[in-house]
């Protein structure tokens, strides 16, 4: 007589209990084959594992001013310096001139503008231009605020010139290097947004510590 063939079979099922809780149910069943025919499928056992899912939320608040004149004097001065820097931009390809001004802890203001290139990726944004300037010339002086303004042929943009992803990453590196949060001032033609540090614009940052390198 040919012996019966037993096979163990595992099935998993996920039951969505709520948006915070899932239940993973694991059934082990026994399949019995006699002469290649499956003749029964009895329930063998049932294991249940509960998985708790946590949903986190990242949000940030910022301040908005209706008019440049309403800004505190230090911030207003920095916005004016950013607008002035935009005038020096070299942007023959986009005609989009961006200016950035950084206030250092000692009160020094450092400016930068976007510098484009016929080989497009060789160009540099105003924010990184200003940061290269401040780090090269004042490495010990920590940036405390950064204002950004932009203009087209029609003049200052109404929109807030938010820094691009590359610049956010570089601003984040500078905050990490100095251990100092940098206030970010986005200056439209009239309205201004003030953001308390780059973590708001770049949460969940990739940092030097992710490389497991001991920084100086
Ligand atoms: N640009 C900046 O200078 N900063 C930014 O954060 C975004 C873009 C420049 C790069 C380029 O010269 C021009 O704006 C159009 O993208």
* pLDDT per residue rounded down to tens, the chain (216 residues): 555 666 666 677 778 777 777 777 766 666 666 677 766 555 555 667 778 888 899 999 999 999 999 999 999 999 999 999 999 999 999 999 999 999 999 999 999 999 999 999 999 999 999 999 999 999 999 999 999 999 999 999 999 999 999 999 999 999 999 999 999 999 999 999 999 999 999 999 999 888 986 666
Cβ(94) to ligand 1 under 6 A? yes
Active-site residue among 127, 140, 154, 175?
A: 127
Count of alpha carbons within 13 angstroms of residue 109, beta-carbon side: 19
Which atom of ligand 1 is the closest one to the Cα of 129? 3
Contacts of 99 (CB under 8 A, 6+ apart): 81, 82, 83, 84, 85, 86, 87, 88, 89, 111, 112, 113, 126, 148, 149, 150, 151
- CA 86, distance to chain mean position in Å, is 25
The neighbouring-strand residues paired with 159 are none
Of 82, 31, 40, 36, nearest in space to 188 by CA: 82
Q: What is the pTM of this model?
A: 0.82
Of 183, 85, 177, nearest in space to 139 by CA: 177
- The two tokens of residue 51 are 């998985």
CA of 121 to the centre of ligand 1 (A): 11
Residue whose CB lies within 8 A of the most ligand 1 atoms, among 92, 93, 96, 129, for a mutation test: 96
- The two tokens of residue 75 are 């911030």
- The two tokens of residue 56 are 């986190």
Which atom of ligand 1 is the closest one to the Cα of 113? 3
127: annotated active-site residue:
yes
Return d(Cα 36, Cα 91) in angstroms, integer.
77
CB 163 within 8 Å of CB 201: yes
Cβ(174) to ligand 1 under 6 A? no
Cβ(114) to ligand 1 under 6 A? yes
Cβ(157) to ligand 1 under 6 A? no
Return d(Cα 193, Cα 176) in angstroms, integer.
23
Cβ(141) to ligand 1 under 6 A? no
Return d(Cα 193, Cα 185) in angstroms, integer.
6
Of 4, 61, 71, nearest in space to 31 by CA: 4
């Amino acid at each position: 007589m040919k012996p019966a063939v037993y096979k163990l079979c595992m099935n998993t099922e996920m039951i969505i209990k709520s948006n915070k809780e899932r239940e993973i149910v694991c059934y082990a069943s026994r399949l019995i084959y006699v002469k290649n025919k499956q003749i029964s499928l009895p329930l063998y056992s049932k294991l249940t594992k509960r998985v708790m899912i946590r949903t986190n939320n990242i949000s940030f608040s910022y301040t908005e001013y209706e008019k440049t004149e309403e800004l505190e004097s230090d911030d207003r001065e920095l916005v004016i310096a950013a607008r002035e820097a935009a005038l020096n931009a070299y942007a023959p390809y986009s005609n989009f001139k961006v200016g950035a001004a950084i206030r250092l802890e000692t009160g020094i203001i450092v400016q930068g503008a976007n510098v484009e290139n016929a080989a497009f990726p060789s160009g540099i944004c105003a924010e990184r231009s200003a940061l290269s300037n401040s780090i090269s010339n004042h490495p010990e002086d920590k940036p405390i605020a950064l204002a950004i303004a932009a203009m087209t042929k029609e003049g200052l943009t109404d929109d807030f010139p938010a820094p691009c992803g590359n610049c956010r990453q570089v601003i984040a590196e500078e905050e990490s290097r100095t251990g100092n949060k940098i206030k970010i001032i986005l200056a439209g033609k009239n309205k201004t947004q003030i953001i308390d540090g780059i973590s708001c614009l770049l949460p969940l940052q990739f940092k030097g510590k992710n490389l497991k390198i001991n920084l100086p």
